[in-house]
Amino acid sequence: MEDMYHADRAMSTQQDIKIKADKVQVYYADNHAIKDVDVEIADKTVTAFIGPSGCGKSTFLRCLNRMNDTIDICRVEGDITIDGEDIYDPKVDPVQLRAKVGMVFQKPNPFPKSIYDNVAYGPKIHGLARNKAELDEIVEKSLRKAALWNEAKDRLTAPGTGLSGGQQQRLCIARAIATAPEVLLMDEPCSALDPIATAQVEELIDELRQSYSVVIVTHSMQQAARVSQKTAFFHLGNLVEYDDTDKIFTNPEDSRTESYISGRIG
């Protein structure tokens, strides 16, 4: 892990910009939850959002695939673009957006269906497979990528809810990548997992970086340091500092960042 973290630093600089946020404000009714957030998220990079509870990092993450739309009182202002396209444009269908921007949630939430159906659901509703053979292939590929194939291949018809917590989370990751997204959002994906399962998922995140732009919200600074190349520190709705991960953890510019990573605020 240590080696990986050092090796990453060199390659984290020259990447294309995948997501660009400009002066993003989020309100829950009268509560101004996100204030003036500007951020550029690079392609094929793991970007970590850290910060104390209630700082708005999950809220901002959910803006990126418009999951906040489901909350009536939530209002988003400012521009968020993916590949230069404004995702809050009235012409954008959030359903199409979410197929492009996959999401993994804090608590593993497999559908109460078979493992196969869990993974196959997304491709089915998006028409990604023309026949059963293609669907089988997508399911196998996704499960392999999520490092779950070897454990699950003999029990594809068993219910997904019967897996262990770590396996369930990897199943959710497999489900998210089955729709061939370009961005993968992860909202504290390891907070409900034990250290071994966490290590497996972190390893997986690092592999997923080859194909996707991964944005991960985490409470664990060690995790941010281990898996990410870029780190953003949120505090009270503000994006305080955004830079290369090793810079944030070794030489932060803002005093609040320093206090947080050294455990004085949180």
Q: Say how many C-beta atoms besides its own lie within 10 A of residue 96's C-beta.
A: 11
The sign of the dihedral angle between the CA atoms of 12, 183, 69, 97 is: positive
Burial class (CB in 10 A: 0-12, 13-18, 19+), 260: buried
Q: Which is nearer to another protein, 76 or 103 (CB)?
A: 103
Q: Which is nearer to another protein, 172 or 261 (CB)?
A: 172
Residue 64 C-beta: closest distance to another protein, Å: 12
27 in contact with another protein (CB under 8 A): no
Q: Say how many C-beta atoms besides its own lie within 10 A of residue 40's C-beta.
A: 15
Side-chain-facing half-sphere of 59: CA atoms under 13 Å: 29
54 in contact with another protein (CB under 8 A): no
Candidate residues 56, 110, 166, 237; the one interacting with another protein per rule CB under 8 A: 110
**Stretch binding another protein (CB under 8 A), from 17-25, 118-126, 144-152, 220-228:** 118-126
Token pair of 35, please? 């204030």
**Residues 16/9, Cβ–Cβ less than 8 Å:** no
Residue 170 C-beta: closest distance to another protein, Å: 14
Q: Which is nearer to another protein, 41 or 176 (CB)?
A: 176
Within 134-193, which residues bind another protein (CB under 8 A)?
A: 161, 172, 175-176, 178-179
End-to-end CA distance of the chain: 25
Residues that bind another protein (CB under 8 A): 65, 67, 70, 72, 95-96, 98-99, 102-105, 107, 109-112, 121-122, 125-126, 161, 172, 175-176, 178-179
